[in-house]
């Protein structure tokens, strides 16, 4: 019935807004629809695997056999470091990971900051030098790891060869065969690879500092060191917090470099939590136990994120103009 009487529509002709209309048109729901594809991707590829991994760590799944829920048994096997029957290899890998992360991050930061300041000066061929610095970051990890593997090879190492020819040593250095040498070697490789990222990011931060601040500080009587200590460094702290968070997260979860160079050896001296998890879960087939090791990384990562969260808080001086 769509007859109208005196220009007025009869009741059935008026289309009432349905719930579907509201979902389609309402601004808040519109935002939701735009967000949905991204959210789905994140859920599918991040949240689901993470949840599945945590679930696996509560089962005794093996490759080819769905597990049954066994509660915290996997974690009990890993134990705590002071337990008699704790998993020594696991705790060694925790120790290795922490040493690897701390030493590599500190050195990467120091070298990266130094390089950034150097590259911020007026140098001839500045653009060329900046791109050269980026090379370690551009080369695929596995390729550079294999190169390092040869550099640190027990028979053909170019370092041993050079030192021998200079008469400094009389036999080859056992780089990857000795536990501490191996640790130093993989840390060195990680630093070599990680420095460009930090250097270039900090350089970008340095370039946002107005040169007139340095001039003002120079006139105020600041030496070069005081210029750095009181002007450059404080202004750089926000970007340092960001870049070091990323660096710590990437270093802590490192896998490729170790796997290509040492596979965790010798005698597990370079096993990180990521490599150990892979070895237990995929190579040995104990999915549940591997998942437990991987899940054990989460608290450490959360801790790192918390540190940066507080480091990243907008400092008071960064806050905008509120003339209250």
Partner 1 sequence: MASVEIRDVRKAFGSTQVIHGVNIGINDGEFVILVGPSGCGKSTLLRMIAGLENISGGEIRIGERVVNDVPPKERDIAMVFQNYALYPHMTVADNMAFSMKLRNAPKSEIQARVSKAAGILGLEKLLDRYPRQLSGGQRQRVAMGRAIVRDPQVFLFDEPLSNLDAKLRVQMRTEIKELHQRLKTTTVYVTHDQIEAMTMADKIVVMHDGIVEQMGAPLELYDRPANLFVAGFIGSPAMNFVKGKIRAGAQPSFESDGGGVFPLTTAPQGSDGQPAVYGIRPEHFQLSAAGLPAEVVVVEPTGSETQVVAKIGGQELVCIFRERITAGPGETIRIAPDPNLVHLFDAQSGNRMS
Q: Are 264 and 279 in contact (CB under 8 A)?
A: yes
Q: Which of 134, 106, 152 is nearest to 258 (CA)?
A: 152
Q: Contact with partner 1 (CB under 8 A): which of 221, 224, 225, 299? A: 221
| 21 makes contact with partner 1 (CB under 8 A) | no
Q: Contact with partner 1 (CB under 8 A): which of 154, 162, 226, 313? A: 226
Q: Which is nearer to partner 1, 32 or 233 (CB)?
A: 233
- To the nearest whole angstrom, how small is the minimum distance from the Cβ of residue 215 to partner 1? 5
Region for residue 267 given its phi and psi (left: phi exceeds 0; alpha: psi -120 to 50; beta: otherwise): left
- To the nearest whole angstrom, how small is the minimum distance from the Cβ of residue 319 to partner 1? 6
Query: How many Å apart are CA 287 and CA 281, to the nearest integer?
Result: 4
Cα angle: 53, vertex 57, 63; to 5 degrees: 80
| 318 makes contact with partner 1 (CB under 8 A) | yes
Quick count: other Cβ atoms within 10 Å of Cβ 322? Answer: 5
Q: Which of 225, 216, 249 is nearest to 108 (CA)?
A: 249
| 313 makes contact with partner 1 (CB under 8 A) | no
| 210 makes contact with partner 1 (CB under 8 A) | yes
- The distance of Cα 214 from the centroid of its chain, to the nearest Å, equals 33
Q: Contact with partner 1 (CB under 8 A): which of 28, 212, 225, 299? A: 212
All residues at 6 or more sequence positions from 192 whose CB lies less than 8 Å from its CB, including other chains: 136, 144, 148
- To the nearest whole angstrom, how small is the minimum distance from the Cβ of residue 321 to partner 1? 6
| 323 makes contact with partner 1 (CB under 8 A) | yes
Between residue 79 and residue 138, which ones bind partner 1 under the rule CB under 8 A? none
Is omega for the bond preceding 33 within 30 degrees of 0, making it cis? no
| 235 makes contact with partner 1 (CB under 8 A) | yes
- To the nearest whole angstrom, how small is the minimum distance from the Cβ of residue 220 to partner 1? 4
Positions in the binding site for partner 1 (CB under 8 A):
210, 212-213, 215-222, 226, 230-231, 234-235, 315-323
């Amino acid at each position: 019935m769509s007859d109208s009487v005196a220009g007025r529509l009869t009741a059935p002709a008026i289309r009432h807004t349905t719930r579907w209309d509201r979902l389609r048109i309402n601004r808040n729901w519109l935002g939701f629809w735009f967000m949905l594809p991204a959210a789905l991707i994140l859920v599918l590829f991040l949240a689901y695997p993470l949840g599945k991994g945590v679930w696996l760590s509560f089962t005794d799944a093996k490759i080819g056999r769905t597990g049954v829920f066994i509660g915290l048994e996997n974690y009990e096997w890993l134990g705590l470091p002071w337990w008699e029957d704790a998993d020594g290899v696991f705790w060694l890998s925790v120790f290795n990971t922490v040493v690897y992360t701390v030493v590599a991050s500190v050195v990467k930061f120091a070298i990266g900051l130094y390089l950034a300041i150097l590259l911020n000066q007026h140098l001839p061929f500045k653009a060329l030098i900046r791109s050269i610095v980026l090379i370690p970051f551009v080369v695929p990890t596995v390729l550079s790891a294999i190169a390092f593997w040869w550099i640190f090879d027990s028979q053909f190492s170019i370092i041993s060869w050079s030192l021998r020819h200079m008469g400094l040593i009389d036999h080859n250095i056992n780089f990857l065969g000795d536990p501490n040498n191996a640790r130093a070697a993989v840390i060195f490789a990680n630093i070599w690879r990680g420095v460009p990222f930090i250097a270039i990011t900090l350089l970008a931060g340095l370039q946002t500092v107005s040169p007139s601040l340095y001039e003002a500080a120079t006139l105020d009587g600041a030496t070069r060191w005081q210029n750095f200590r009181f002007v450059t460094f404080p202004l750089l702290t926000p970007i340092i917090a960001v870049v070091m968070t990323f660096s710590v997260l990437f270093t802590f979860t490192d896998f490729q470099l170790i796997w290509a160079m040492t596979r965790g050896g010798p005698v597990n001296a370079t096993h990180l939590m990521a490599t150990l998890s892979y070895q237990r879960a995929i190579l040995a087939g104990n999915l549940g136990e591997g998942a437990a090791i991987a899940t054990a990384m989460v608290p450490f990562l959360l801790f790192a994120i918390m540190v940066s969260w507080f480091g990243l808080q907008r400092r008071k001086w960064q806050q905008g103009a509120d003339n209250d």
